[in-house]
Amino acid sequence: MTVTLEISLYPLKDEYESDIIPFIQSLNSNSEIQVYTNAMSTYVKGDWEVVNNVMSTALESLWSKGGTSSTVMKIIPRDLPVETGFFRL
């Protein structure tokens, strides 16, 4: 099943980019998913099993560094056209 996942990562520290940039780079390094990043969040599209595994690995890697962060994820079980901008009805 194809899913579209939106994730927003909020490291609870002043120098937040040092956590966010490597996290997004780790997502981009996986050729089995599609990743779209904007100023507020990142969208990940792909097979549910692959997306779930990629997200678990990326989050566990981040958490293993000992920092604290808040993570917000939304998952929709279909292929949303996030690459074309805003969804229009």
Per-residue pLDDT of the chain (89 residues; tens, 9 = 90+): 999 999 999 988 888 888 899 999 999 999 999 999 988 899 999 999 999 999 999 999 999 988 788 999 999 999 988 887 765 65
- Residue 86: the pLDDT is 63
Question: pTM (2 decimals)?
Answer: 0.87
Domain that holds residue 74: 2-78
As for how many domains the chain has, the answer is: 1
- Residue 84: the pLDDT is 79
Q: Is residue 44 part of a domain?
A: yes
CA 89, CA 71: separation in Å to the nearest integer?
29
Q: Is residue 87 part of a domain?
A: no
- Residue 65: the pLDDT is 87
- Minimal CA–CA distance to 37: which of 21, 48, 55, 50? 21
